[in-house]
Chains A and B, each alone.
Chain A
Amino acid sequence: MATEVLTNGDAQAADWPDRYYHVDQILDRPGPRTDPSFMAGDGVKDFLRSQCKILVIGAGGLGCEILANLALSGFKDIHVIDMDTIDISNLNRQFLFRPKDVGKPKAIVAAEFIMNRVPGVKVTPYYGKIQDKDDDYYMQFNLVICGLDSVEARRWINATLVNLVDPENPESLKPLIDGGTEGFKGQARVILPTITSCYECSLDMLNKPTAFPICTIANTPRLPEHCIEWASVLEWPRVFQDKKLDTDDPEHIGWLYKTALARAKEFKIEGVTWSLTQGVVKNIIPAIASTNAIIAASCCNEAFKIATSSAAYLNNYFMLIGTDGVYSYTFEHEKREDCPVCGGEALDISISRDWTVDRLIEMLIEKQDIQIKKPSLSTATKQIYFQAPPQLEELTRPNLEKKVSELVEDGDHITVTASSLPFNLTLRVKYV
Chain B
Amino acid sequence: MLVVLWTDALIFVLIAVVLGFAFHATRHPHLRVPWQQVGRSRVAAGALVVLSVYVAIGLLDSVHFHPRLEAQTPAVGEASQETPTYSTQVISLLDLWLQPLREQEEKTFSAPFATHLFVKEAMEQPDGSVIRAYPRLEHGGAHLTDPARDRAPDILLSTLLGLVQGLIAWTGFLLMVLGLSAWRARESFAQRVLQLRQEPTQAAWRVAVWTLLVMLVLGFIAAELAVKYHILGTDKVGEDVFYQSLKSIRTGLVIGTLTTLVMLPAAVILGIMAGYFRGLTDDIIQYLYTTLNSIPGVLLIAAAILMLQVYMANHGDEFNSLVERADLRLLFLCIILGVTSWTGLCRLLRGESLKLREADYVQAAIALGVRHSRLIARHILPNVLHIVMITLVLDFSGLVLAEAVLSYVNIGVDPTMNSWGNMINSARLELARDPIVWWSLAAAFGFMFTLVLAANLLADVVRDAFDPRLRGTA
A and B found bound together: no
